[in-house]
Amino acid sequence: MARYLATRIGLGVLTVFGVVLLTFVLMFVVPGDPARTIAGPRATPQILALVRANLHLNQSVLAQLGHYLAGIVHGDLGVSYVQDQPVAQLIIDRLPATIELGLAGLALELILGGAFGVWDGIRPRRSRILAVVNVGLLSVPAFSLAFVLLLLFGYKLSLFPIDGGTGGTRIVLPALTLGLFGMPYYANVVRDAMQETLAAPYTRTAVAKGLPRRAVLRRHVLRNAFSPALTMAGLDFAILLSGVVFVETVFGWPGIGQLQTQAFYNVDRPVLMGTVVVAAVLVVVATLAIDLIRMAIDPRTRLETQ
């Protein structure tokens, strides 16, 4: 187990390094001069040169990369060009909000999708309601869904505050957007797994034991039927995170996504880089966490670790 964890963490570090490398290269391909952004349009060439020297922008790309990586090791992600604050501090301030929203979205996806999938899966034939809901949700782009929820529940019905920020019921609409967006996928996966599990010989064994139907479902069907959904949650986490970026912007949720969007418009390279690195770390950690949960639930997956 310790060896497995060490391997997984090593691979995670490699992944994050790869992401840093890729983003760093992208930063230098993207047009725009950060020195010009910081110093303003009327700065003299001398001032621009000074700014560049301060930010190490006059060094080679390789030297800059080395400088950046050395910083990461010490927990230093640089200083924001625009806000004049350490990037690490900016991210730490906003990380809890993003994690809260991400987990709420993931939970809603799993709960809504799981409930719908189970409800449909125990029926002998596929229900029309699930098909209609699935097609409906799948064909609505995420941003329309966000605006429909905002307009209907926030503006028309005034059920939830739409002034941005966190706290109270403000999480409901953004989390619901994420949950509804991912729900159809989970509903389908759980539904198919339910059908497969219900037809499995071990379910027949459970019936042959004379267990009540509820015990057959609870003890033998559900646990096996949720295994594929968990695998999917692991794969889906990166997609969920990119959804969070968008949803935060629409609902004014002060998380990393919002920070990233602002940084993108301001060509605030250190902040942009920092959010990407943190997102990569989050994905690596979440994937590992989900694999550990899967191992706890399904003893067959424990074989891989030996």
Partner 1 sequence: MSTVSLPEAPTASGLRVQDLHVRYGERHAVQGVSFSVAPGQTLAIVGESGCGKSSTALAVARLLPPGASIEGRALVGDLDLVDARGRTLREARGRVVAYMPQDAMAALNPVQSARRQIAEVLSFRQGASRSEAAAGAVALLAEVGINEPESVARRYPHELSGGMRQRVMLAIALAARPRVLIADEPTTALDVTVQAGILSLVRRLTRADAMALVWITHDIGVVAEIADAVAVMYGGRIVEQGPVETIFEHPEHPYTRALVHAPRQSRDALPKAPFQAIPGSPPLGEFPVGCPFHPRCEHALGPCAQTMPPMLERGPEHSAACHLLSARP
List residues near partner 1 by CB under 8 A.
124, 199-202, 204-212, 215, 219-220, 223-224, 227, 297-300, 303
Nearest residue (CB) to partner 1, 62 versus 303? 303
Minimal distance in Å, beta carbon 110 to partner 1? Answer: 19
CB of 149 to partner 1, least distance (A): 38
**For residues 198 and 200, what is the distance between their CA atoms, to the nearest angstrom?**
6
Burial 227-265 (b: 16+ CB within 10 A, else e): bbbbbbbbebbbebbebbbbbbbbbebbbbbbbbbbbee
Based on C-alpha coordinates, what's the Rg of the chain? 24
Q: Which is nearer to partner 1, 80 or 224 (CB)?
A: 224
> What is the smallest separation between the CB atom of 230 and partner 1, expressed in angstroms?
12
The residue (of 67 and 223) whose beta carbon lies closer to partner 1 is 223
Minimum distance, C-beta of residue 1 to partner 1, in the bound complex (Å)? 17
Q: What whole-number distance in Å separates Cα of residue 146 and Cα of residue 240?
A: 14
- Closest distance of CB 212 from partner 1, Å: 7
DSSP for 104-115 reads HHHHHHHHHHHH
CB of 301 to partner 1, least distance (A): 10
| Minimum distance, C-beta of residue 168 to partner 1, in the bound complex (Å) | 40
Contact 186, 109 (CB under 8 A): yes
Beta carbon nearer to partner 1, 58 or 205: 205
Q: Report helix, strand or coil for 86.
A: strand
Residues 6+ apart with CB under 8 A from 149: 173, 176, 177
Task: Please classify residue 37 by burial: count the beta carbons closer than 10 Å to its beta carbon, then call 0-12 exposed, 13-18 middle and 19+ buried.
Answer: middle
Considering the complex, what minimum distance in angstroms separates the CB of residue 247 from partner 1?
35
Measured CA to CA, the distance from residue 284 to residue 278 in angstroms comes to 10
How far is residue 132 from each of residues 117, 135, 152, 209, measured CA to CA in Å?
13, 5, 21, 37
Instruction: Find the angle CA(142)-CA(148)-CA(152) to the nearest 5 degrees.
Output: 150
Specify the residue, 56 or 213, whose C-beta has the smaller distance to partner 1: 213
